[in-house]
Structure 1
């Protein structure tokens, strides 16, 4: 589309009456982003305090220019485009922050009270929902590439980790008082770095995927090799 291309739009909304503008289509520059479109709608509404809006075209949020959405949806600029506007959704703000010393490779937040992270610094860490490091899982001799939380009791967190050191580990972490983390099983058998790990729904088995091109299924008793 040319830089000065105009698109005929019909603006609609499900918001209350005071936020509705004329249903008569009119032309706007195709280069407008959601900020420019917000200015258009605010001007037509004559609001004392400008209100930010998001815009939807055929189910897709306008996150670049209107032109990019039309191209992505294969909509001709010569047609009348229905644009729905809704209250803008603010981006989420972090409630807490925890630090590793290197890239974070994986995170498991499936537990109701704790989050587990794995990092290229060779550690996995258990964090409280408030961002406090509850425990460090130290034992791998290379980067931790994947973590997974198993079904756990009230006072114990069971965690799986995988590493570029070609091993996986099962950890038991006490979560009351001063946390204590210990390795309860180590799984050797992969001939190259393990990149992913997952546990069965009942927590009795796990599988690993490695750079050696294998997927291995393990029982907890098989700490020296895999199936």
Structure 2
């Protein structure tokens, strides 16, 4: 898919493609209500919009929201865009599908990168010492916005504790499963932090791969 990808906006990568592949397997039509969190370029929102579903996309970054708007225009898709902190702009909504590709990369709190987290390009990946700063918030709050029978699709790295995601979503009343997995080599951000991951036992010495996982949670009718 041709997309505008300016500097400072998270570009579609392996996690984007894995999440989009799971969206294609969901049953969506013109009556469907979709929410895409941490939309970035809008790639996943556009995948959902291809079905005719009513799609809302949210990002904290003003540049990302503008980029998603341009990409929606480029592909002649109607997407409702909102800038804000996760669910805050849509707190009164109910959705049949919620998708999220949030920041999930662990960061050493003693490094300058950690001190700058929450600003600039780091918004797209830095997620606290255990990588769960945003994941935990989504797991606790997104289930409340699902309609009966609604589905949450959440992509993350295996380095950010997939079992914790499953536990939190089950505690929120969702039936959970792993919808997709794929191993991939580290990109530049993960490679730069490989020594940190080794010290914490998240990877073996010399290992430079991670497993991407899409967790699927369903609100029972």
Pairwise same-fold verdict (TM > 0.5): no
Larger radius of gyration: 1
Higher share of residues assigned strand: 1
Q: TM-score, normalised by structure 2?
A: 0.25
Q: TM-score, normalised by structure 1?
A: 0.24
Higher share of residues assigned helix: 2
Greater relative contact order structure (CA < 8 Å, 6+ sep): 2
